[in-house]
């Protein structure tokens, strides 16, 4: 089995203790961090499909997610790159009702790597908490919202509305996550949408330039 296939299989199987070592071995062997990440994302797609098919349940999905996060932790210093530039401040969080954070963490890592100071509010973040965080950080220039569930898309919409209604200005709002589309972003009045972490990093740089 190739190293990437081995990583994928072990993420799928939720081998939290094995995955970090395999990821480090792959880096040492010269694999690109982005290829390793792609193998782990593929694993999560398989896990999601098996969950949809009723072949596995929430605990298996949870442990696979933990294994992926452990692998991402090993990749983080490589993906983070040079942070010397200072492009501003970004507040990020997964919206209320949603506990998925692996994608949001990757987005935070990639936006941070382009030179933003990141304030990560975590998961299940209420609209009030987002508004409060912006008030506490008046120099914020990006607010980034993530949602992974179709059932939390309304929560994203309410969050954007609450931020707009607060009257606070001087920042742009970017949204993303598996069920989110450009069309939905436009509908809820976000300033930008990105399909993945790399795209989010490119987009926020455009938004502040
Ligand atoms: Co959940 N879950 N989950 N889950 N889970 C999905 C999302 C699902 C698609 C699985 C499936 O059914 N096939 C499905 C959602 C269906 C839907 O709504 N359309 C689902 C479900 C149903 C659920 C529960 C409701 C299950 C239940 O309890 N019955 C439950 C909900 C809990 C809650 O949130 N309230 C639940 C729970 C969980 C766990 C806690 C067990 C675990 C999360 C662990 C964690 O995050 N710490 C989990 C997992 C692991 C998954 C899957 C398998 C993997 C998610 C993941 O990490 N992917 C997922 C299936 C799948 O994704 N194929 C699934 C890898 C990650 C790198 O990708 O998060 O998409 P992703 O992030 C990408 C992009 O989306 C984008 O960039 C990221 C990186 O490139 N992106 C942004 C994300 N945020 C962005 C923000 C941006 C821009 C881009 O700008 C700001």
Domain of 77, CATH number, reads 1.10.1240.10
How many angstroms separate the CA atoms of 166 and 172, rounded?
14
pTM: 0.96
Q: Which among 19, 48, 114 is the best mutation to test ligand 1's pocket, defined by most ligand atoms within 8 Å of the CB?
A: 48
Same domain, 99 and 201: yes
The reply to whether ligand 1 has any atom less than 6 angstroms from the CB of 9 is: no
76 and 101 both lie in a single domain: no
Cα–ligand 1 centroid distance for 31 (angstroms)? 26
pLDDT at 88: 93
The stretch 187-208 carries a mean pLDDT of 96
- Overall domain count for the chain: 2
Q: Which of 16, 48, 83 is the last residue of a domain?
A: 83
* DSSP tag of 99: -
User: Residue 62 belongs to what H/E stretch?
Assistant: helix 58-80
Banded pLDDT at 145 (limits 50, 70, 90): very high
Alpha-carbon distance of 152 to 179, in angstroms, equals 9
Q: How far is CA 167 from the centre of its chain?
A: 27
Nearest residue (by CA) to ligand 1, atom 66, is 103
Are residue 136 and residue 78 in the same domain, yes or no? no
Residue 1 pLDDT class (50, 70, 90 cuts):
confident
Residues 118-137 have a mean pLDDT of 98
Tell me, what's the pLDDT at 135? 98
CA 205 to CA 30: how far, in whole Å? 29
Among 83, 118, 140, the domain boundary falls at 83
| Predicted pLDDT of residue 113 | 87
* Residue 81: per-residue pLDDT: 74
* Judgement on whether residues 59 and 119 belong to the same structural domain of the protein: no
- φ and ψ of 125, to 5 deg: -90, 125
| CA atoms of 169 and 72, how far apart (whole Å) | 34
Identify the pLDDT of residue 171. 97
User: Does residue 122 carry a pLDDT above 90?
Assistant: yes
CB 185 within 8 A of CB 175: yes
**Contacts made by residues 77-81, CB under 8 angstroms, sequence distance 24+:** 78/27, 78/33, 79/33, 79/34, 79/37, 79/106, 79/109, 79/110, 79/113, 80/109, 80/112, 80/113, 81/113
Q: Which domain holds residue 167?
A: 86-208
Position 82 scores a pLDDT of 67
* pLDDT number for residue 195: 97
The residue nearest atom 70 of ligand 1, judged by CA position, is 178
- Residue 57 has a pLDDT of 96
| Contact (Cβ atoms closer than 8 angstroms) between residue 145 and residue 157 | no
- Report d(CA 104, CA 112) in Å as an integer: 12
Q: Find residue 125's DSSP bridge partners.
A: 95
Confidence category of residue 143, pLDDT binned at 50, 70, 90: very high
pLDDT tens-digit readout, 150-184 = 999 999 999 999 999 999 999 999 999 999 999 99
pLDDT at 84: 66
Residue nearest to atom 8 of ligand 1 (CA): 48
176 lines ligand 1 (CB under 6 A): yes
**Mean pLDDT, rounded, for 77-83:** 80
25 touches 3 (CB < 8 A): yes
Atom of ligand 1 nearest to the CA of 59: 41
Ligand 1, atom 21, residue with closest C-alpha: 149
DSSP helix/strand/coil, 94: strand
End residue of a domain, out of 83, 110, 132: 83
Verify that 195 and 141 share a domain, yes or no: yes
């Amino acid at each position: 089995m190739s190293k990437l296939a081995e990583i994928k299989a072990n993420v799928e199987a939720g081998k939290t203790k094995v995955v970090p070592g395999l990821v480090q071995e792959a880096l040492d062997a010269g694999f690109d961090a982005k290829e390793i990440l792609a193998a782990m994302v593929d694993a999560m797609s398989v896990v999601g499909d098996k969950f949809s098919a009723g072949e596995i349940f929430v605990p298996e999905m949870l442990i696979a997610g933990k294994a992926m996060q452990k692998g991402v932790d090993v990749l983080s210093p490589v993906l983070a790159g040079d942070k010397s530039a200072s492009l501003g401040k970004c507040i990020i969080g997964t919206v209320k009702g949603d506990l998925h954070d692996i994608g949001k963490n990757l987005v935070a890592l990639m936006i941070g790597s382009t030179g933003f100071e990141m304030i990560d509010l975590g998961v299940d973040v209420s609209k009030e908490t987002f508004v409060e965080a912006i008030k506490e950080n008046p120099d914020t220039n990006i607010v980034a919202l993530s949602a992974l569930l179709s059932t939390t898309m309304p929560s994203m919409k309410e969050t954007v509305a609450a931020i707009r209604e607060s009257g606070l200005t001087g920042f742009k709002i970017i949204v993303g996550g598996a069920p989110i589309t450009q069309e939905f972003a436009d509908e809820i009045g976000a300033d930008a949408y990105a399909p993945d972490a790399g795209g989010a990093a490119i987009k926020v740089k455009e938004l502040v330039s």
